[in-house]
Chain A
Amino acid sequence: MTAADPDRSMPRADDPIAEVRNLTVAFEMDRGQSRVVDDLSVDIERGEILGVVGESGSGKSMFASSLMDAVVEPGVASGDVTYHPPSGESVDVLELSKGELQELRWEEVAMVFQGAMSSFNPVRTIRDHFVETLSAHDYNVSDGLERARELISDLYMDPERVLSSYPHELSGGMSQRVLIALSLILDPELLVMDEPTAALDLLMQRSIISLLDGIQEKHDLSIVFITHDLPLVAGLADRIAVMYAFEMVEMGPTDELLTDAAHPYTRALLNSTPNLRAPIDRMRSIDGESPDPVNIPSGCSYHPRCPMADEQCREVDPEPYRVDGDHAANCHYWEEAAEAVPAVTEEFDDAGEMGAAATERTPERRSGEPVLSMDDVEVYFEQESSAFSLFSDPDDVKAVDGIDLDVYDEDVVVLVGESGCGKTTLGKTAIGLQRPTGGVVEYRGQDVWQARDLVGDIDIPYEEIRQSLQIIHQDPGSALNTHRRVRAVLETPLKRWYPELDGNDRRERILGMLEYVGMTPPEDYIDRYPFQLSGGEMQRIALIRALLINPELILADEAVSALDVSLRVEMMDLLLELQDTFDTSYLFISHNLANARYITEKADGRIGVMYLGELVEIGSPERIINDPKHPYTQALRWATPELDPDDDPGERPMRKIDIPDAANPPSGCRYHTRCPEAREACRHQRPELVEAEGEEPGYQQAACFREYEDHEYWDSEPITDEDDADSVDSGTGPGTAEADD
C-alpha cells in the first residue's frame, strides 16, 4: 500500500491516537492460511468515535482485538499498530513485551465485549472484579472504588447494590453497563467496543448509546465502536469505516458516508438495511455471500457481488481513492457507484409520508371468521422449579396476562417488545405449543385444548389443528438435525401428514419447493447436510419444512434476526411471497421495529406491542410508526435508530432504563414505573385497549389512560422520580435473565 499518490491514499488523522498499518491477522488451517484481517490500514483520531461497520465474518472483531494485541491463539497479527499516548513515546503495540502489554491494556486501551454476561467470573462479586483490576495495576483501591461508584451511577445504576452483586444477579443490560464501567476504571485513553450492545434489546441499546456520548465527553475518550448494525452508530459516530471481506472498503465522516457513499458495497448495505423511513418496495438484499477467508477473491474482493465489476476489478486490488476530504473508498469506479447503485432513500422525500401505498388499506379484510382467536389468554409460570420444594411460595411469573388477539386468513401480525415481555410465550400459546393457564385459544372456532383433551364437541380433531399451526425457529441451525440430509429432514413431515405419497412424489415435491425458494439446482441441495448450508439456506429449509404440510398459520420466532443484515430483506420477501402462494397467515415475533415495519407494511398487517405480558398497543404499521399512542410504543420508536446522520436520539422518553422484574410487575398500568406521562391514577388502575382517538375503528388500539376521553388520570398528579424511592434504576430482581430471545 502506498500513500505517495494523494488521490489514492487513505485519509490521515491530524492527531492520531492509534495508527494501524498493513494489519494482517492469519490463522493456519488445514485448508490453507485463513486471513481474517487482510492488509488493513486505518487511523484513529484522538477524541473521535469511529464506527466500524461490517457483517459477521468481515473480520471486524479480529481488528478490534489487534488494537490491544489480544488476538486469540492460534491467530497471528502482523503489521504495525502504533499507539500514541497523550504524552510520552509512541509504542508499537504488536511488539510489546508481556510486561509492557500489561501496562498498555486497560490503562491505555480498554475493551468492552459483546457477551457481558460471560465476561465476569461467576463466583466473584462485581466489587471483586473492580478491586482485582485496580490492584493488578497498582492503583489505589479506595480511590478506584470511588471512581467505580461514579461510573456506575453515571450509567443509571445503584452503585452499592451493583458492587455487592454477583454477575448472575444482573440483567443483560445491567451487566453490559457494568462492563463499560469496568473498562473505564483505569481511565484509559482509547476504548474499543466490540458489538457492545448486540445481545441487548433495542431500548437498552439505544439507552446505552445515548449514555456513551456523555461518557466519551466526560472522560475524554477515543472510542472505536464495532458493530454490524449501521443505523445504530449513525447517530453516535463521528466517522464510519465499512469493513468488507477483511479490509476497510470505505471510510468517511458519518453524514457523508450515509448520504454519499462511494463504494458499491456500502451503498448496497444501506439499501438493504430495514429502517423506519425508506420506502419498503425499493429495499434490496445484496446477492451472493461474503467470501471465505481462505479463499479471498483476487483483485477487488467485492467483485463477485458487484454489479459494476469488470476486468480491472477482477485483477487489480483497488487502493483507497480519495473521494474528498476525509472520505475515501477502495473502488476503481467509485465515481459511478452512485448511478449504478442508486440509494433507495433518494426519491423518498418526494413521496412524503412513508408507505403511502399501503395506508389506505382497510381493516375490512380482517373480517369474517378468524383463523385463530385468543380470548383473555393467560400464561403463568411457577417460579420454583425444584421438584422437592416443600415450602416455596409460588411466585408466578405472569408471562402473558390477559391478551385478546385474532388472526385472520392471510393476516400478518408482528409482536414486538423487549426480552421477557412474553411475546414468545404468547406466540407459542397461539399455535398450541404452550397450554395457557387461563383463557381460550380457538382455531377456526374450535377450542384447541379441548380438542387436545377430547373434551366437549370436537369439530376439528387435534391432529388437524397441529398440522395447521406451524413454527419456524429463530436459529435454523439448532432446529435442524445435523445428522440428517435435507431430503430426510423434509420427508419426515410429508410422510407423517401425507402417507399416501410414494417416494417419487415426495422427492418431486421437495425438489419443487427447493427450486421455489431459490435453492437451485435443487438436486444439488437435496442431499446436503445442514452444515453444508449457509444460515439463510438453513432458514429456507426450515421454512419449507413448515410449508410442506400446508399450514394455516406459521409462527416465525425471530426468524430473520439471526441472519446477516443484507439477507434479512430477502428472507422477509420470500416469506411474504410464499404467503400469497400458500394462503398462510403469519404471526411474527421480533424485537426489531424496523423489521416489523417492513413486513407488516408489505403485507398490510398489524404490529402488536407487548410490555410485561400485556398487549399495550396494536395497529397498522403506519399508525404505530408515525403516530404511536402508547408511551411505550413511543419509546420503542425512539429506540429504533435511523439511517440518518442528524438522527439525534434526543431525550430518552423513559424515566428508567431497566425493565422491572416480570415476577413482580408494577401495579396498575405496568409501564407506570418508566412512563414519562405517568400520573397517580396509573399506579392503581389498569388501562384496557381502546380505539385510538380520531381513528376509524380497527386501525389502532392502545392501552393507556391518555386515550380515554375523560378519566381520573387527567386530574391526578404526575408521578415524578422524586416520588419514587430511588431515582436511579433499582434494576431488576436477582436472577432475572433476559431469556426471551
Chain B
Amino acid sequence: MDWRVERLTQGLLTVFLVITLSFVIIRFMPGNPMDYILAQMSGDATGATSGEGGASGSDMEQQYELVQAYLSMNPSDPLHVAYFDYMSNTLRGDLGQSIYYSRPVSDILGRAMPWTLFVLSWGLAIGFVLGIITGSLIAYWEGSKLDVGLTAYSVIMGSIPYYVLALLLIVYMAYRWQIFPTNGRVPEGVTAGLNWPFIKGIIYHASLPIASTVVFSGIASLSMRGNAIRVLGEDYLRVARLRGLSDGVIATQYVARNAILPLYTGLMISIGSLFGGSVILETIFRYRGMGYYLVQAANARDYPLMMGGFMLLTICVVIALFITDLTYGLIDPRAGDENREAF
C-alpha cells in the first residue's frame, strides 16, 4: 500500500475525530455550549415574557431552532440524528452562527484564515531560511568568533518564548518608537486591491507578527549547525572530495541537502505549536486572524465561533503536516521505505 494514501487516510481520520470530539463537547460536557445557549435563550425569553410564567411549549420549539441555527444541532433530536446532522453540516462548511458577531462562523473564519496563514507561512519560511543560512555559516566557520557570536544568537533566539519577543516588539517598535502599527492587518484609507500602497500596508502591518515567529530560526540554525557538522564528517563527503567534485556541488548537493533533512522533520513537529502560538500572537498584535477570533469568542462565550475556530485550526495543522510529509518524500528518497527488521 502506498504510504501517501496511508498518510492521507490518517489525516482524514484525525479530522473526523476532531469533528466528533467537538460534537461530543457541545452535546455532553457539563456546562456545555448547548446548555449554555439554551440557558441564555430561556433567560432572555423569561426576561421578555416575565410575568407570564415560564416558557411555553412553542417557545421551547423556537429555542431549539435557534440553538440549531447557532450550533448546527438540534437538542431535541435523538443522538444519532443529531450527530449525522452535525457531521454533514460541518462537512458542508456550515459551522453555525456566531452569537457575538451574528454572522455565520464559516464566514468570519473564512475571512480570517488567509491572514493567519499569511503570517505563519512567511514567519516559517523566513525563519527556516534564516536558520539554514546562519546554521551553515556557523558550521563552516566552526570554532571561530563568528561561530561563538552566531551560536549565542541562536541559543538566545531559540530559548525566548515567541510571545515574550512579541511583547517586546510591540512595546518598543510600536508604542515607544512607533515604527510599526500596534494593531490591524490592513492600512486604513487605502483602496483594497493589487496596488502598491495597499500591499505595502499589508506587509507593514504583518511585520511584527512575522518577526515574532522568526524565533523559530534560532532553533533551526542550531540544529542546522549540528547537522552540517555531522555531514561534514561523513564518509561520503570525503569520497566526494576525492572524486574531485566542485565545492558548489558539495555544498549544495551533499552538505546542505543532507543537513536540511532532519530540520524538515523538526519543522513538522513544530507546526502544531506554531498554529497554537498564532492564538497568542494575534491577540497581542490584535491581528484579526483565526487565533484572534478564537480568543474573542472565548471571552464572549461565543461557543459556535470557538468550536469552529478550534476545528479549523486543527484541520489546518493536519493539512500542513500532510503537505510536509508528502514533500519530505521529494527531498529524502528513503522516506516511505520503512526500516526493515534487523535480524
Contacts and interface: CB of A to CB of B under 8 A. Distances in A.
Check if A and B associate.
Answer: yes
A385 B339 contact: yes
A168 B334 contact: yes
Interface stretch (A16-24, A121-129, A437-445): A121-129
B10 A397 contact: no
Contacts of A425: 343
B242 interface: yes
Contacts, number: 115
27 contacts: A70-B242, A72-B238, A105-B244, A107-B244, A119-B235, A119-B236, A121-B253, A122-B258, A122-B333, A122-B334, A123-B253, A123-B333, A132-B245, A132-B253, A133-B243, A133-B244, A382-B341, A383-B338, A383-B340, A385-B339, A386-B338, A389-B6, A390-B10, A391-B9, A735-B339, A737-B342, A739-B341
Interface of A: 68, 70, 72, 102-103, 105-107, 111, 113, 115, 118-125, 128, 132-133, 136-137, 166, 168-169, 182, 379, 381-386, 388-393, 397, 399, 420, 422, 424-425, 662-663, 734-737, 739-740
B236 A121 contact: yes
Contacts of A119: 235-236, 239
Max chain A CB contacts within 10 Å: which of B243, B334, B337? Answer: B243
Interface of B: 1, 5-6, 9-10, 234-236, 238-240, 242-246, 249, 253-254, 257-258, 261, 331-334, 337-343
B257 A397 contact: no
A115 B343 contact: no
Nearest to B241: A70
B253 A384 contact: no
A113 B6 contact: no
B101 to A, nearest CB: 39
Given A111-B242, A119-B236, A136-B245, A420 B343 contact: yes
Contacts of B339: 385, 735
B243 A105 contact: yes
A105 B245 CA distance: 11
A399 B342 CA distance: 10
A420 B343 CA distance: 7
Nearest to B343: A399
Nearest to B341: A381
B152 to A, nearest CB: 26
The 7 lowest CB-CB distance pairs between A and B, nearest first, are: A739-B342, A391-B1, A381-B341, A399-B343, A118-B235, A166-B333, A102-B244
A121 B258 contact: yes
A385 to B, nearest CB: 5
A124 to B, nearest CB: 6
A137 B5 CA distance: 43
Nearest to A117: B235
Contacts of A734: 337
B338 A385 contact: yes
A121 B240 contact: yes
A381 B10 contact: no
A42 B261 CA distance: 45
Contacts of B9: 390-391
Contact of A118 (B236, B261, B332, B334): B236
A381 to B, nearest CB: 4
Contacts of A737: 340, 342
Contact of B343 (A68, A121, A740): A740
Given A118-B234, A168-B334, A397 B242 contact: no
Nearest to B237: A121
Nearest to A424: B343
A383 B338 CA distance: 8
Contacts of A124: 253
Nearest to B10: A388
A662 B1 CA distance: 20
Contacts of A125: 333
Nearest to A101: B244
A168 B343 contact: no
Contacts of A422: 343
Max chain A CB contacts within 10 Å: which of B238, B245, B343? Answer: B343
A50 B235 CA distance: 25
A389 B336 CA distance: 12
